[in-house]
Structure 1
Amino acid sequence: MAPQRFHEQFDHIQRAMPGTALAMGPYDDGDAHFLYEKGVVLARDGEEARLVEDTVRAHFTETAGLVPDHVRRDGPHTNRTGVTRIRIGDPAEGADTVPHALRALREAEARRSRRLVSRNHVVHIAGGVNACPGDEPVPVARTQPANPAVAEGRYDADTAARVLVIDTGLVHDHDAYPPLAHTAGDIEPAETDADGVLRQYVGHGTFIAGILAAVAPNTAVTVRNTLSDAGAILESEFGARLFAAVDEGGWPDIISLSAGTTTEGVTDGLLGLDAFMRELREQRTLLVAAAGNNSSHAPFWPAAYAGLPEYADSVLSVGALSADGESEACFSNHGPWVQVFAPGERLTSALAGFDTPVPYIYQHSTYDGCRFDYDYSCTCQFPRHTGVLSEGRESTGAKPHQVMFDGLAQWSGTSFATPVVAGLVAAHMTAYGERDPRAARDGLLAAATGSAEVRGARVPVLRPPTWRPVSVADPAVPV
């Protein structure tokens, strides 16, 4: 798999986090597959944090000549995550000390049979190898219907299922799109740059809310602007932001989350989310989470919590189907931890520019062939465009492509398969008067008759009745 897009997006995220030094994590084939904060590790508060500090301080004093002050906590613990950031050396000096610190603690972890320390990962919109969605949005004329189309039904505040979307904020004119008339939450603070061009990922949360409202009209959707900085946030901050989101409006029926990260281990999860995930488990809320766009079986967290027995009841992980709905999308993650697949390629929903058309300049270039080596006309290739971030663009003289958005867009990613499933669970709740979202999930999956073959395995599939497959022969035209 070509790492081109990952490196492009790494630079983009680093620019959006100017005060944070980032590094690329290791990958089996030599490519990077996650991002993390350079020179910082995470540990649980209290005794474990002190043990990590003492062990790492002794290791570096003996092996690297660091002075004790090079290992220090970054300020007091101030939130419910129960996690402390521990800085190891000065990342401005160049060398990344995190891998050495992790190795120094392996023996202590083995003695306790418990993970004591973690990298401070970057949690990103359906990130990973690509560190970006399956593709970038494509304008769709307002005369075209949404896909999935808006289902029959009306909004009733007394019976509506409550869904919390953790993503980017709503665009300022989102309520000009009728299905979003009852959507609440945070407005994106800076939709465009100094030149009036739509920033990358602006509209992502609006697009997701539009899918939810189409699949389940009787749903009270609240969107929180948690991922406004290039669609990314540090793990140490993410847990606190999740707690803040549920504290503000109470625990909802469903949380729709289209973000995450892979890690170095396959069963580790995210230390910064431990406290939130434990509290989630004790609530009745169902977390519906995107499986990620790495075209990989590597667990993508927090979706991969669905594969752990203690969280299987509280998390539903979602992969994406191809545009024709017959197999997995080329970019979708897969594996036994992905519980269900739903349409996620070339969906149509609300984006931005309802009041006044707004320009967007593509950041990534399409490929001559599928970057994951699939043989259908996927979003890696179509529609053709050249992006600002693409390596070698200036040497060829190629100009980045600009388009105009005036309301609707077509977009792909497990980011968007996720609200399809969240919406179907919400619709099941209101249709059957079910107040328990986890019971609604069970009933929905039990009644599902669809399946698809993904990497040789038959997997459950949920397709909304109003969703239309898109022709592979002409990807711009629904069938």
Structure 2
Amino acid sequence: MAPQRFHEQFDQIQRSMPDVPLALGPDDSAEFIYEKGVVLARDGEEARLVEDSVRSHFTAAPDLSADHVRRASPETNRSGITRIQVGDPGQGDRRADLAVAHALRALREPEGRRGHRLVSRNHVVSIAVNSCPGDEPVPAPRTGGINPARAEAGHDPDTAVGVLVVDNGLTHDHTAAGPLLAHVRGDLHGTETDGDGNLLQYIGHGTFIAGLVAAVAPNTDITVRSSLNDAGAILESEFGERLFDAVEDGWPDIISLSAGTSNGRTDGLLGVQAFMEELRQQRTLLIAAAGNNASATPFWPAAYAALPDYRDVVLSVGALRGDGEFGACFSNHGPWVNAYAPGERLTSVLTGFEAPVPYVYQHTTYDACRYGFTYPCTCQSPQHSGVLSEDGESDTPDRVSFEGFAHWSGTSFATPVVAGLVAAHMTAHKETDPRVARQQLLAANTEFAEVRGAHVPALRPASWRPVTGGQPTAGA
């Protein structure tokens, strides 16, 4: 049977959050994942209004119960968000939660209108969106090097650009990669392998990203934070707080963020609004992945780049396919995406070089592109069978071994490429303001690609080599 990637992703994320019942939403289209039985509101008066409005709405409806409506997180936090329970999270299956849907409807009534949104689902923010990220990693030989190749530039601690990678941490042996990651520090993953010694899914995601930033912009000091869990996921209600934690020691020049969610709206995420408002007051540039749903639906936080108050604050990044001339099949797209960069079969460090680490594929590739593209995309190539399937588990999943380098695809990886380009521009032009560098880089760019029939800005590092048949083109 054809793989059901989004449902496989759901199961993976649910296993990483065993105490949080989750649902798919907003309906059978399953655009996003959210917490069952809970909605979000701002602390204080708005939370009380939401709680009272939902209770009144449920009391008046014969098929609803107000018994579960109560404050689920009374404590105040920096994100200014309160969780309000509106239903029994133990009821129903993973299909859309009707109690949450009715709670949202209650605040659409006239007495709930205050000129801005009062209530939201508690979405799951994740690197493992629809395409995990665009595929699963594939071992790459050490002799081939990384792609983009490491730029010929030195590291000057006095002028190095500070880059913060908000992700799922670093592999324990990342320093064995040598000079490439010499100026990378941060949090380690913790548990990296299962009971049989196999590398867990998404382990190495943060290390891979750090390697791409360092390759494009060697004059950087990179910090990787483990703000997401081992499946690269976190609830929206916690995400804003983790972002504040990540900048507790100071705001960097650039934040590279390869996670997010759609929410069916055009006004952002309630759970990160306080952080975004604080970000506006800083000089930090947020560079965020557009997501891998092959959709034009806004994906947050990247889509903040299209909101008037954040156009200079956020740079949203989509992915180009291996030839760099067209959009990758999985990449989100639309007017809210600022630029596109190579994001298919890039090569970077996954695990360090201390010893080979086995990996069992989780997802099965497709016979043809699930999005209808005809080039040999990551949906179908390289082919492998995964342990997850619509029927349970595959008896013959493919196994590989990683010894440092890997090929990997996704807007997750196009994003650090652009973060590196902004940082390199800052160094080359002695520009200390990353937001000014963003404007200058986009204004000076003369390269374009075609994405879904539109001509869009394409940011391709000089050291990047086009990829055909899964391997970088020699001499390109």
2:454 to 457, 460, 469: 457
Q: How does 1:69-468 map to 2 (within 5 A)?
A: 69-94=67-92, 96-108=98-110, 111-125=113-127, 127=129, 129-130=130-131, 132-178=132-178, 179-247=180-248, 249-265=249-265, 267-392=266-391, 398-468=395-465
* C-alpha separation in 2, matches of 1:3 and 1:78: 42
| Equivalent residue pairs, number | 468
Q: Could you report, residue by residue, the CA deviation over 1:53-112 in whole angstroms, capped at 9, with x for unpaired residues?
A: 001111112225766551111232332101100011221133641001111111147632
SS class of match (1:41): strand
Q: 1:311 to 1:3 in 2, by over 3 A?
A: farther
Q: Is the 8 A contact 2:73 2:84 kept in 1?
A: no
Q: Shift in Å at residue 158 of structure 1? A: 1.0
- Spell out, residue by residue over 1:236-264, the C-alpha distance to the aligned partner (whole angstroms, 9 max, x if none): 000000001001x2000000000000112
Q: Distance in 2 between matches of 1:155 and 1:126?
A: 33
User: In the alignment, what sits opposite 2:14?
Assistant: 14
Q: Could you tell me which amino acid in structure 1 is paired with residue 26 of structure 2?
A: P
Counterpart position of 2:473: 478
> Do the aligned partners of residues 141 and 3 (structure 1) sit closer, same or farther apart at CA in structure 2, a change above 3 Å counting?
closer
TM-score relative to the length of structure 2 = 0.95
Q: What residue ranges of structure 1 are gaps of 5+ in the alignment? A: none
Opposite residue 218 of structure 1, the aligned amino acid is N
Contact kept in structure 2, 1:212 and 1:419, CA below 8 Å = yes
Unaligned runs of 5+ in 2: none
Runs of 4+ aligned structure 1 residues displaced above 4 Å come to 64-69
Matches of 1:101 and 1:64, distance apart in 2? 14
Task: Supply the distance in 2 between the matched residues of 1:143 and 1:340 (Cα, whole angstroms).
Answer: 31
**Contact residue 102 and residue 118 of structure 1 kept, 8 A:** yes
1:9 to partner: Cα distance: 0.8
CA contact (8 A) 1:126 1:291 kept: no
Q: Distance in 2 between matches of 1:23 and 1:225?
A: 25
Structure 1 residues 466 and 108: CA distance shift in structure 2, 3 A? same
- Give the partner amino acid of 2:429: Y
Which residue is 2:33 aligned to?
35
> What amino acid sits opposite 2:139 in the alignment?
P
Look up the match of 2:46.
48
CA displacement at 1:194 relative to structure 2: 1.2
Shift of residue 227, structure 1, vs aligned partner: 1.4
Cα gap change, 1:374/1:171 in structure 2, threshold over 3 Å: closer, same or farther?
same
Q: Would the alpha carbon gap of residues 67 and 103 (structure 1) be closer, same or farther in structure 2, given more than 3 Å must change?
A: closer
* Structure-1 separation of matches of 2:26 and 2:66: 28
Q: How far is the alpha carbon of 1:448 from its aligned partner?
A: 1.0
Q: Deviations over 1:383-434 (max 9, x none)?
A: 110011122475xx65001100010000000000000000000011111111
1:148, 1:468 within 8 Å by CA — same for their partners in 2?
A: yes
* Cα RMSD after superposing both structures: 1.6
Deviations 1:196-234 (A, max 9, x none): 110110000000000000000000000000112311000
For 2:63 and 2:135, the matched residues in 1 are separated by 46
Q: Deviations over 1:156-199 (max 9, x none)?
A: 21110000000011001101112101101001111111111101
Query: Matches of 1:177 and 1:468 in 2, distance apart?
Result: 21
Secondary structure of 1:332's counterpart equals coil
Q: Deviations over 1:306-342 (max 9, x none)?
A: 0111110100000000101010001001100000000
